[in-house]
Amino acid sequence: MAFHPVIPILRSFDEGKAREFYLDWLGFKFDFEHRFEPGTPLYMQVSRGSCVLHLSEHHGDGSPGACVRILVHDLEAFHAELQSRPYKSYRPGLQNQEWGTREMVVQDGASNRLIFYRDLK
């Protein structure tokens, strides 16, 4: 029996803002999109390395305000990358947590929180 990485489905409300946040700022790449017909809600996949996220405008495909944790071994380099292209005055910091991780938290337009982290060990 083998278990594989999960692919979270995050709620999205605005295609333009989602693309700007995930693709332009966070540096994810666009993998695919699906619509049942023109003008219907968007369902798309973005990825960066082995991190895969699904973003959905469909009612019921996830609740706004979800939270996911994403392991990034070189968190400081990712943080520096984001600092080099600020997102509308959004400048996240790094915080060491008492449970032994360093974290950077960002929030998208649907209030989904992405916690990028690495172990301090």
**pLDDT tens-place string over residues 46-83:** 999 999 999 999 998 989 999 999 999 999 999 999 99
pLDDT on residue 86? 84
Give the SS3 label for residue 68: strand
Q: Is the pLDDT of residue 1 over 90?
A: yes
Non-local CB neighbours of 38 within 8 Å, separated by 6+ positions:
none
Range of the domain at 80: 9-119
* Residue 2, in any domain of the structure: no
Task: Kindly calculate the radius of gyration of the chain based on its CA atoms and give it in whole angstroms.
Answer: 15
Q: How far apart are CA 46 and CA 37, in angstroms?
A: 20
Here the CATH number for the domain that contains residue 67 is 3.10.180.10
Tens digits of residue pLDDT in 78-99: 999 999 998 887 899 999 999 9
* Residue 60, in any domain of the structure: yes
* Residue 101, in any domain of the structure: yes
Domain count, the chain: 1
Using alpha carbons, select from 68, 59, 64, 70 the residue that is nearest to residue 111. 64
Q: What is the mean pLDDT of residues 18-22?
A: 97
* Residue 91, in any domain of the structure: yes
pLDDT on residue 87? 86
**Distances in whole angstroms, Cα of residue 19 to Cα of each of 16, 24, 44:** 5, 7, 10
* Residue 62, in any domain of the structure: yes
* Residue 1, in any domain of the structure: no
